[in-house]
Amino acid sequence: MKLHSATFAALFITALAFFAPSIHAQSASFTQQPAATLGVLGGTADFSFSVQVPLAFANLGVVAYKTGVSSPVSDRFAFVSQSVGNNLTNSGNFTTGSYTIRISNLTAADVGSYYFTVSVNGFAYPGSTSQPADLVLGSAAAPVITVQPLSQNVAGFVSSAINLSVSATGNPSPNYQWYKNGTAIGGATSSTYTAAVLATGPDAGAYYVVVSNSAGSVTSSTAIVNVNVGGGPTIVLQPASLGVVTGQSATFSVTLASTLFTPSYVWLFNNNPIPGATSSSYSVTSASAASAGAYSVLIYNTFGSVTSSAATLSVTASAAPNITSQPTSTTVDSGTSLTLRVTASGASTPTYQWSKNGTAIVGANSSALSFSSVQPSDAADYSVLVSNLAGSVRSSTATVTVNVPNPARIINMSILSPLAAGETMTLGTVLGPAGTTTKPLLVRAGGPGLGALGYPDVIPDPLLKFFNGAGVTVGINDNWGGTASLTQAFNQVGAFAFPALSKDAAIYSPTLAAGSYTLQVSDAGGASGNVIAEIYDSTPSSAFTNSTPRLVNVSVLKQVPALTSLTAGFVIGGVGTKQVLIRAVGPGLVPLGVSGAMADPTLSLYGAPSNSLVQSNDNWNSSIAAIFTQVGAFALPAGSKDAAILATLAPGSYTAQVTGSAGGLVLVEVYEVP
């Protein structure tokens, strides 16, 4: 009905209250004030409130007002519910009225603040006017479920009950409809659903609720309710997970222990009931991507129920996976993080198996391979095998290079040896690896500078010639001249000083490309005497990583008189250890067309500071022949009397001493082993 405006009351509601001969209080009070409400255009808005008045037998009237409007606006309202009751207190008899009134077909003009007055037999007591409550128009919003109904196990006794609830937001306020096993439950139209369990298994089921308003609807997740009083079904064989290709069939089944009471079945897909699936097995006749998911079955009889475990159906396309994004090669610093990734397409989720240098990595079975702190041992070639039911495909190889700050390496080689009159001593070096950036190198030939340190019988005027692998001259120096740039280069690598006006020779090349180089050392006047020839890596340690060009090989070719020795010194610098290959080649030179080679060299390796013997070799062992190929050294004849040592060395100074009873031409080589 509509509320009609009047001077004191627009509507009279007769309320029969407990009669009291006297009135002990002369004021009214709102025990529940109207609250602000939100509506949408064309929708409804409700105001609810309760008022207590001091009269046992009274006619209660309600008038609605809008703030800022002098006349009542009761015509916009209609009753939704109303109640009048008695409340006997110690202070006397009071009549309480509770009301819910509604504005329908909301328009923008309805926005505002509303308050309500209550009269008793036409008289308004003090306190009979409510507080104002705002009406606000908002946008329509489809329901959103904030709390889902929960699965539960219920004991099957008379006092037991199924209690399900859902919480949802929406504008206008949403409506509710509960379902059991896919069928609407009559009268179950609130946010909660309660049903007494009368010791019967059929109360078990798959329950969900559809929440809707004028803006849309949403279906809750399914709550599985199991009811047991003893004697219910028992599963002895659960449904098994399956994987099929698109178009194939898949059948799930369940096996029960023997029972006297015939069971009923409700198959579920992702916890939702499947219409008509009511036997002990369920078949997907032609699987598609939409068929993939979890299948389970709810089973009940008169005395209880049980729900199976979920079996997963995987459905893949008939084609093998296709890799759309390959893992990429990368260079990283030691200690940093790294992730290699692959992306593959396909109708089903593929599986992954990463490999390192062709060997499967245990547990590396996702689309990404991550390293929290890369170590030098992680430097390798990586690939991943991507598979599904229809086949597999291997990714391209991603090479991971790990930069190690200041790694162990060869930083210097020196040869201290006598030169015969007119003799030329040849040193060689290789800067690598190929394709890296340029490198600074210092080469020296010392005679007078060596004599200034007290070494006897030095050549008076060393001459130094420096060539690249193509025979092109890099530099020639007779007298170093005491220049500031060369002095600075000496100091940087820790080389001993040359006298300022000495006739020693030195060449500093700041930007040498990767490749092979040759040094020729002689006396400019053809004199004989002792000479020291040196090659220095001039890259500062602070700027060195394992990707920096380095001395991957240093060597000397020298005539050694009978009953004498040739000593080649080299220095390992940096942090960690370095494996090196050292060779003394005599017979191995003969197939290369070299005559006068030492017939049977013996090689001994000594380490500083105590100059103790590290290792020695007379005739090389064929077990290290593969290392020759690895470092790029030429092969030695099988069974030859050449000498070779493979050693892992800590940073420090080392000398390789070559002796041969018959003397002759010998090649001494030092290679770093990657």
CA end-to-end span of the chain: 96
Element (H, E) at 492: helix 484-493
Examine the pLDDT at 3 and tell me if it is beyond 50. Answer: no
Distinct helix (H) and strand (E) counts, the chain: 3, 55
Distance between CA atoms of 263 and 277, rounded to whole angstroms? 14
The better pLDDT of the pair 438, 531 is held by: 531
The better pLDDT of the pair 116, 90 is held by: 116
The better pLDDT of the pair 345, 520 is held by: 520
Q: What is the CA radius of gyration of the chain?
A: 48
**Given pLDDT bands bounded at 50, 70 and 90, which one contains residue 118?**
confident
Q: What is the pLDDT of residues 572-583, one digit of tens each?
A: 999 889 999 999
pLDDT at 73: 92
Examine the pLDDT at 283 and tell me if it is beyond 60. Answer: yes
Examine the pLDDT at 388 and tell me if it is beyond 90. Answer: no
Examine the pLDDT at 559 and tell me if it is beyond 60. Answer: yes
Distance between CA atoms of 326 and 398, rounded to whole angstroms? 8
Examine the pLDDT at 302 and tell me if it is beyond 80. Answer: no
pLDDT at 88: 39
Average pLDDT over residues 46-53: 87
Q: What is the pLDDT of residues 144-172, one digit of tens each?
A: 999 999 988 876 655 578 889 999 988 87
pLDDT at 17: 31
pLDDT at 476: 97
Of the segments 28-37, 74-83, 590-599, which one has the largest average pLDDT value?
Answer: 590-599
pLDDT at 229: 66
Distance between CA atoms of 66 and 114, rounded to whole angstroms? 4
The better pLDDT of the pair 231, 543 is held by: 543
Q: What percentage of the chain carries pLDDT values higher than 70?
A: 90
Closest CA to 55 of 99, 21, 11: 21
Q: What is the pLDDT of residues 455-467, one digit of tens each?
A: 999 999 999 999 9
Model pTM? 0.48
**If you ran DSSP here, which 8-state letter would residue 320 be given?**
P
pLDDT at 37: 86
Average pLDDT over residues 66-92: 74
Residue 11: which residues within 8 A CB-CB, separation 6 or more?
Answer: 1, 3, 4, 61, 62, 74
Examine the pLDDT at 5 and tell me if it is beyond 50. Answer: no
pLDDT at 201: 59
Average pLDDT over residues 630-647: 95
Distance between CA atoms of 649 and 656, rounded to whole angstroms? 13
Average pLDDT over residues 497-502: 94
pLDDT at 98: 86
Distance between CA atoms of 646 and 672, rounded to whole angstroms? 10
List C-alpha distances in Å: 9 to 71, 90, 97: 12, 30, 15
Residue 18: which residues within 8 A CB-CB, separation 6 or more?
Answer: 56, 86, 88, 93
Average pLDDT over residues 597-612: 90
Distance between CA atoms of 564 and 571, rounded to whole angstroms? 23
Average pLDDT over residues 312-322: 83
pLDDT at 357: 97
Q: What is the pLDDT of residues 206-230, one digit of tens each?
A: 899 999 987 889 999 999 888 776 6
Is residue 49 within 8 A of residue 62, CB to CB? The reply is: no
**Given pLDDT bands bounded at 50, 70 and 90, which one contains residue 590?**
very high
**Given pLDDT bands bounded at 50, 70 and 90, which one contains residue 178?**
very high
Closest CA to 530 of 450, 438, 590: 450
